[in-house]
Amino acid sequence: MTDPLTVHVPLDQGRDYDILIGRGLIAGAGARVAALGGKAAVIVSDETVASLYGDALRASLEDAGLRSGLVAVAPGEASKSYATYAAVCDGLLAHKVERGDLVVALGGGVVGDLAGFAAATLRRGVRFVQVPTSLLAQVDSSVGGKTGINSPLGKNLIGAFHQPRLVLADTATLDTLSEREMRAGYAEVAKYGLIADAGFFDWCEAHWRGIFSGGPERDEAVAICCRAKAGVVVRDEREDGERALLNLGHTFGHALERLTGYESARLVHGEGVAIGLALAFRFSARLGLCPGQDAGRVANHLALAGLPTTLQAVPGGCGDADALLDAMAQDKKVKDGALTFILARGIGQSFIAPGIETNAVRAFLQDELGAA
Amino acid sequence: MTDPLTVHVPLDQGRDYDILIGRGLIAGAGARVAALGGKAAVIVSDETVASLYGDALRASLEDAGLRSGLVAVAPGEASKSYATYAAVCDGLLAHKVERGDLVVALGGGVVGDLAGFAAATLRRGVRFVQVPTSLLAQVDSSVGGKTGINSPLGKNLIGAFHQPRLVLADTATLDTLSEREMRAGYAEVAKYGLIADAGFFDWCEAHWRGIFSGGPERDEAVAICCRAKAGVVVRDEREDGERALLNLGHTFGHALERLTGYESARLVHGEGVAIGLALAFRFSARLGLCPGQDAGRVANHLALAGLPTTLQAVPGGCGDADALLDAMAQDKKVKDGALTFILARGIGQSFIAPGIETNAVRAFLQDELGAA
What pLDDT sits at residue B334? 52
Which residues of A contribute to the annotated binding site for NAD(+)? 109-113, 133-134, 146, 155, 173-176
Closest chain A C-alpha to B95 CA, distance in angstroms? 11
State how far the alpha carbon of A157 is from the alpha carbons of A33, A323, A332, B89, B277, in Å. 30, 21, 8, 9, 42
B-chain residues near A124 (CB < 8 A): 146, 148, 159-161, 238
The reported pLDDT for the residue numbered A248 is: 96
Nearest CA in chain B to A148: B124
Of A159, A176, A193, the residue that ends a domain is A176
The contact set of B with A (CB < 8 A) is 39, 82, 85-86, 89-90, 93-94, 98-99, 117, 120-125, 146, 148, 151-154, 157-161, 238, 332, 335-336
- Closest to B125 (Cβ–Cβ): which among A124, A125, A160? A160
- Does residue A196 sit in the same domain as residue A338? yes
| Domain harbouring A34, CATH code | 3.40.50.1970
Indicate which of B12, B92, B98, B121 best probes the interface with A, i.e. most A CBs within 10 Å of its own CB: B121
A90 vs A86, A103, A159, A187, B336, CA distance in Å? 6, 13, 17, 35, 20
Binding residue per annotation — B8?
no
The pLDDT value recorded for residue A292 is: 97
Mean pLDDT of chain A: 94
Among residues A153, A176, A199, which one ends one of the domains?
A176
Q: Within 10 A of A215 (CB to CB), how many other CB atoms are there?
A: 12
What is the number of residues in chain B?
Answer: 372
Q: Does the annotation count A242 as an active-site position?
A: no
* B96 annotated as ligand-binding: no
**A335: which DSSP letter?**
B
Q: Establish whether A207 is a catalytic residue.
A: no
Residues of chain B with C-beta less than 8 angstroms from the C-beta of A160? 120-121, 124-125, 160
Domain that residue A67 falls in: 5-176
Residue B149 to chain A, least CA–CA distance (Å): 10
Quick one: pLDDT at residue B186? 98
Question: Crossing angle, helix B198-213 and helix B179-196, to 10 degrees?
Answer: 170
* Strand intervals (E) in B173-230: none
Residue A240: pLDDT band by 50, 70, 90 thresholds?
A: confident
B335 counts as catalytic: no
Do residues B172 and B185 share a domain? no
Same domain, B218 and B362: yes
Give the model's pLDDT for residue B340. Answer: 87
Residues B131 and B189 in one domain: no
Establish whether B207 is a catalytic residue: no
CB B123 to CB A94 under 8 A? no
Average pLDDT over residues A241-249: 92
Between CA A300 and CA A304 the distance in angstroms is 6
Whether the ipTM is more than 0.90: the answer is: yes
Helix (H) or strand (E) holding B160: strand B154-161
- Residue A256's Cβ-side half-sphere holds a number of Cα atoms within 13 Å equal to 30
Residues B106, B47: one domain?
A: yes
Question: Which of B251, B249, B293 has the alpha carbon at shortest distance from B274?
Answer: B249
Q: Are residues A110 and A221 in the same domain?
A: no
- Give the dihedral of Cα atoms A273, A275, A276, A278; nearest 10 deg: 120
CATH number of the domain encompassing residue A317: 1.20.1090.10
Of the residues B150, B176, B202, the one at which a domain ends: B176
CB within 8 Å: B148 and A122: no
- Choose among A90, A124, A161: nearest Cβ to B148: A124
pLDDT bucket at A238, cuts 50 / 70 / 90: confident
pLDDT at residue A371 greater than cutoff 80: no
Contact list in B for residue A153 (CB cut-off 8 A) is 90, 93-94
To the query of whether residue A269 is one of the catalytic residues in this protein, the response is yes
Selected catalytic residue, list A95, A243, A266, A282: A243
Residue A3 DSSP code: P
Does A245 lie in the same domain as A204? yes
Same domain for B352 and B238: yes
Say yes or no: B64 and B86 in one domain. yes
Q: What is the pLDDT of residues A335-369, one digit of tens each?
A: 555 688 999 999 999 999 988 988 899 999 999 99
The whole-angstrom separation of Cα A305 and Cα A183 is: 7
Which among A141, A158, A236, A243 is the top mutation candidate for probing chain B, defined by the most B β-carbons within 10 Å of its own β-carbon? A158
Per-residue pLDDT tens for A160-186? Answer: 999 999 999 999 999 999 999 999 999
Measure in Å the smallest separation between the Cα of A149 and chain B Cα atoms. 10
Query: Is B80 marked active-site?
Result: no
Q: Quick one: B106 and B186 in the same domain? A: no
Q: Mean pLDDT across the stretch A71-77? A: 96
- Say yes or no: A150 and A239 in one domain: no
Q: What is the number of structural domains in chain A?
A: 2
Going residue by residue through chain B, which has 372 residues, state the pLDDT in tens, using 9 for 90 and above. 578 999 999 999 889 999 999 999 999 999 999 999 999 999 999 999 999 999 999 999 999 999 999 999 999 999 999 999 999 999 999 999 999 999 999 999 999 999 999 999 999 999 999 999 999 999 999 889 999 999 999 889 999 999 999 999 999 999 999 999 999 999 999 999 999 999 999 999 999 999 999 999 999 999 999 999 999 999 988 888 889 999 999 999 999 999 998 888 899 999 999 999 999 999 999 999 999 999 999 999 999 999 999 999 999 988 999 999 988 876 645 555 568 899 999 999 999 998 898 889 999 999 999 865
Q: What is the pLDDT, as a whole number, of residue B336?
A: 55
Catalytic residue among B181, B188, B217, B368: B188
Cβ-defined contact of B157 to A89 (cutoff 8 Å): yes
pLDDT of residue B71: 98
A330 or A311, greater pLDDT: A311
B209, B319: one domain: yes
